[in-house]
């Protein structure tokens, strides 16, 4: 019991000492930044200085400093759909970072680099809000869809139903269907730009494209014969003729991966959402 009280007192003393060190340096406050986390993936924050202290607004938000790199903080949800909360992080450079944290099944990013204390790298410059996204999804879901490109594997089908643009945002409408008797639970849907051809003995070049919002019709479970529509919202981009955009859909508890490959010309044929006929 005495040892426990001693350790508790020592911990409190160290926290106060660190707080005084930060205050002596003249604490800068940055934020609040909007941050999305989920429960089955770790979100990593890379700070320009070592993390001194962490304060979580809700116990369901888990946060842990990396054992080796003191400037890395790993966070994730301890439970699904926890209420919106906040997170405060103090670094040894005298900076207090404030985060507004919310749960998302498919967070926009899982690794965030804060290159310097005066750069608000987590305030995403994205033209559409979540409300704008929902409105656009309603427009897209209300149109008559026809497959433009389809890939089939493992008795699964993945189709491109349309690409739309509005205010600097590209919306991809995809259709997926399970023709096997084994249910398919979606683990993730990745978008990667790859070179079309690779010279022998050279490493492949890949660039991950991260979408800001996603919509999975009726959840992420795919049962036999039940088609599902997926809508992804990306910051506007184009790709060169010698590259392809790969959309890869992977299974949560299994090895099935189905992908569809798109060319730059598919993106250039994007329809304006204002012209969508409902």
Contacts of 81-87 with C-beta under 8 Å, sequence gap 24+, read 82/58, 83/58, 85/56, 85/57, 85/58, 85/60, 85/61, 86/32, 86/57, 87/35, 87/54, 87/55, 87/56, 87/57, 87/61, 87/63
Which pLDDT belongs to residue 278?
45
Q: Would you place residue 16 in the very low, low, confident or very high pLDDT band (cuts 50, 70, 90)?
A: very low
Most confident of 28-37, 75-84, 147-156: 75-84
Query: What superfamily does domain 2-113 belong to in CATH?
Result: SARS coronavirus X4 (2.60.40.1550)
Instruction: Tell me the domain boundaries of the chain.
Output: 2-113, 130-272
What are 165-219's pLDDT values in tens digits? Answer: 988 899 999 999 988 888 888 888 888 888 876 544 444 566 778 888 888 887 8
Q: Would you place residue 24 in the very low, low, confident or very high pLDDT band (cuts 50, 70, 90)?
A: very low
Domain 2-113 identical in fold to domain 130-272: yes
pTM: 0.56
The encoded tokens of residue 47 equal: 């700070």
Q: 72 versus 121: which is more confidently predicted? A: 72
Which pLDDT belongs to residue 247?
92
Nearest to 258 by CA among 162, 179, 141: 179
**26 has a pLDDT exceeding 90:** no
CATH topology of domain 130-272: Immunoglobulin-like (2.60.40)
**276 has a pLDDT exceeding 80:** no
Burial of residue 231 (CB within 10 Å: 0-12, 13-18, 19+) is buried
Mean pLDDT of 246-271: 89
């Amino acid at each position: 019991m005495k040892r426990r009280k001693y350790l508790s007192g020592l911990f409190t003393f160290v926290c106060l000492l660190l707080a005084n060190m930060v205050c002596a340096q003249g604490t800068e406050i940055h934020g609040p930044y909007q941050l999305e986390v989920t429960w089955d993936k770790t979100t990593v924050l890379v700070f320009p200085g070592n993390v001194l202290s962490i304060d979580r607004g809700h116990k369901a938000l888990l946060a842990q400093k990396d054992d080796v790199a003191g400037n890395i903080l790993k966070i994730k949800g301890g439970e699904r759909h926890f209420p919106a909360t906040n997170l405060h992080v103090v670094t040894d450079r005298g900076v207090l970072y404030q985060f507004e944290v919310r749960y998302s099944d498919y967070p926009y990013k899982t690794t965030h680099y804060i290159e310097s204390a005066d750069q608000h790298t987590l305030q995403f410059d994205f033209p559409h809000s979540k409300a704008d996204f929902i409105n656009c999804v309603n427009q897209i879901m209300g149109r008559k869809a026809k497959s433009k490109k389809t890939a089939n594997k493992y008795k699964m089908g993945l189709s491109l139903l349309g690409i739309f643009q509005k205010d600097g945002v590209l919306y991809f409408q995809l259709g997926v269907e399970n023709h096997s008797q084994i249910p398919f639970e979606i683990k993730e849907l990745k978008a990667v730009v790859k070179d079309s051809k690779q010279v022998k003995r050279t490493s492949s070049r890949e660039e991950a494209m991260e979408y800001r919002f996603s919509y999975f019709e009726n959840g992420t479970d795919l049962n036999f014969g039940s088609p599902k529509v997926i809508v992804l919202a990306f910051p506007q981009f184009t790709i060169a003729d010698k590259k392809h955009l790969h959309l890869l859909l992977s299974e949560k508890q299994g090895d099935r991966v189905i992908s569809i490959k798109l060319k730059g010309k598919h993106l250039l044929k994007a329809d304006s959402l204002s012209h969508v006929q409902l």
